[in-house]
Amino acid sequence: MRRFLPWLLLFLPALAQVAVEPGWVRLVPPVVPDTAAYLTLANRGKTPLRLVGAETPVAKRVSLHRDYQEHRGGHAVLGMRPLPYVEIPPGGRVAFRPGGYHLMLEGLKRPLKAGEKVELTLLFQGGLRVKVTLPVEMR
């Protein structure tokens, strides 16, 4: 146990820096291969946090995205762009919600069911990993 205590003490400040507020995963029809996850991340620390990715056992990959709207030729064009990271400023919060930031669960390995719990591991720059469990909901 004594060998692991220094490592644990090294990660405790980082874990205390991240607060994850409740979120959810969008229920999609069984034939749809991708879905999105939403939550809010709060940075309780004095240094920026950089979310660089995520993992889940229910999808082949997870990527960070942000929805956008552009006007072209008098028409509104909606879409989403992949992001290399999302930065959470010191003392700040970033909401992942429909119409904004979201985590794309790409290549679902099986259909998800309403009420099921999906485990995600959030990956931060510097090696911090934070596990969250989100319910699958139809919204």
- The per-residue pLDDT for range 55-75, each reduced to its tens digit, is 999 999 999 999 988 888 888
| Model confidence band, residue 9 (pLDDT cutoffs 50, 70, 90) | very low
Q: Give the residue among 85, 101, 84 at the shortest CA–CA distance from 36.
A: 101
Interatomic CA distance for residues 116 and 109, integer angstroms: 14
CATH number at residue 28: 2.60.40.1890
- Longest Cα–Cα distance in the chain: 66
Q: How confident is the model at residue 15 (pLDDT cuts 50, 70, 90)?
A: low
Using pLDDT thresholds of 50, 70 and 90, give the confidence band for residue 96.
very high
Phi-psi region of 97 (alpha: psi -120 to 50; beta: other; left: phi over 0): beta
**DSSP state for residue 100 in the 8-state scheme:** S
Confidence class for position 97, pLDDT limits 50, 70, 90? very high
Domain count, the chain: 1
Percent of the chain surpassing pLDDT 90: 78
Q: Are 96 and 80 in contact (CB under 8 A)?
A: no
pLDDT of residue 62: 98
| Residue 14 scores a pLDDT above 90 | no
Give me the domain span that covers residue 15: 5-137
Give residue 10's pLDDT: 39
